[in-house]
Chains A and B, each alone.
Chain A
């Protein structure tokens, strides 16, 4: 997605994410003709081919824009931005567990997006993809007093807004290759949340605010916390019950008379498929990695790994979408190779 003149600042992580990002900001601040700095997690993949032009258009639309992201929310009162009103979620969460799969944010599909999926100003954007304007790169730094990882994005957006700049959510798309465990290190997350709320309470409207006296709020939140745990346990029970039901259905199907008497038909079919595959392997040439991707996008292939083959599992409607994404990925990889050649 980078342009021929783009500078890529790849750095090994040093200390906390706050320190690592600040080191990159220092370096980027010295770059002449900087239009924007795009900060990515190592597991974030930009999908749109026209990412740079989209970003440029967003930044040009309002000189007060300081930060742009593709996932953002309004009325955010803590680092749990998802508890606010999420306005834009143009991301795909691609996970490796259970054979791999993907979950799409509600703005991922531009054609069928949610009615409340809107580009516009937000309180904060998620930090897996942050685009910073030059003014921000030169004026603001991540506050390492917050912790080591969590909360850096919300705190940074609050700093940006305090300086009078805007935080904008835009509909460019990115894939986050990430575990299904939404928050790693829950204790660290809680500490960071408290630190951010303490820092900004009274400085920024709504942060740390809520109805009732402090004692009432504490008691109610503790009760809601325990109910949330109970809900999690119920989800686990529900999944176990569903598993029993599915296993029973599969077992019944496989042991049914109809399935057993048609076993020879399936055996012949399997034989025929194997012969065809062998014949293809003998006559076909060795495909390049990218060609394999294109081939695989037409049908299930677990070897593709997370982010590519997952939707083949879900059903017919989603297979077509995978094909589109895979082709985009192939195209982007080819383009990336071309850029590498240009740069070298």
Chain B
């Protein structure tokens, strides 16, 4: 039996997105565990795992974010195929990365299934969710998975715990992936399709809980997989050429990280400038149309049309 779970913070969002996905993907015997969300995401996920663990015949637990809609009706079969043919797979996701350099999962080689972002900004629309990361296609083995959809194998449900010490549970997806990897299990991104209904922003720049979770995860996992695994420390830091003391190495690392931070901010600003500049021709085209004599002359016609459309939609409602 493949179980589904969701921690609901916003009922409307759940009913509009996650619930629809469950209807599409769940099998007749699937159990669906729904809980009210607590403040810490890791606590939510642990509770869902505890509920699912009660069934002896559990094949997998699929946990989704309330804003995530599964659009693949064959998800259960895909999960079953992977877990039956490769029992060493402990965790499955729809997006992940290979050898992330830090607890920010996107710092590795990103792999993704067909993940669409349906956003509300700028009149609404759809984009491939991880477009800027230029992700490699699924399926692939990865080191960490992103947590908007997590599939836990029965082994993971009974042996792993999401780390509740992480502020607000940020990064608990990366942490549980690394727990699985360190226990010798494989982590996999499978070929499937989902839609995430949410904002264009990935992380709020001033999210101090996220920053703190990043620091804690780095302390916990850096170097745990050697110099060629995920979260490997920089070579110069791990193996200094001279016998510099610990404080001096951390000082060098702080200065370097601060320089990299300023460079990343500058690169982000450059992306913003490019984005804005690239839109200017379209903005001009639209302004030219809307400022033209013929557009202004036909404005009453459009007003009448809008009025008709509103009337028609009211009548339909």
Contacts and interface: CB of A to CB of B under 8 A. Distances in A.
Interface of A: 78, 80, 82-83, 95, 97-99, 101, 103, 180-183, 186, 189-190, 193-194, 197-198, 208, 210, 213-250, 253-254, 256-259, 261-262, 265-266, 269, 313-315
B277 A253 contact: no
Most buried by A among B132, B205, B262: B262
Contacts of B261: 221-222, 224-225, 228
A258 B106 CA distance: 47
B282 A217 contact: no
B214 A193 contact: no
B263 to A, nearest CB: 5
B100 to A, nearest CB: 10
A258 B259 contact: no
A186 B263 contact: yes
Interface string B203-244: 101010011001100110000000000000000000000000
Interface residues of B, number: 78
A183 B258 contact: no
A183 B269 CA distance: 10
Interface string B258-283: 11111111111111111111111111
A307 B271 CA distance: 20
A29 to B, nearest CB: 33
Contacts of B295: 253, 258-259, 262
Contact of A214 (B125, B127, B200, B251): B251
Contact of B289 (A220, A224, A250): A250
Nearest to A258: B298
Contacts of B107: 226, 229
- DSSP majority for the B interface? helix
Contacts, number: 257
B309 interface: no
B256 interface: yes
Given A180-B273, A181-B270, A226-B107, A219 B200 contact: no
B14 to A, nearest CB: 24
A97 B274 contact: yes
Contact of A99 (B104, B257, B258, B280): B280
A339 B299 CA distance: 56
A46 to B, nearest CB: 24
Nearest to B302: A258
Given A240-B131, A261-B298, A254 B277 contact: no
A241 B286 CA distance: 16
B201 interface: yes
B184 to A, nearest CB: 28
A185 B238 CA distance: 26
Contact of B215 (A214, A219, A233, A269): A219
Contacts of A217: 254, 257-258
B277 A214 contact: no
Interface stretch (B42-50, B59-67, B114-122, B147-155): B114-122
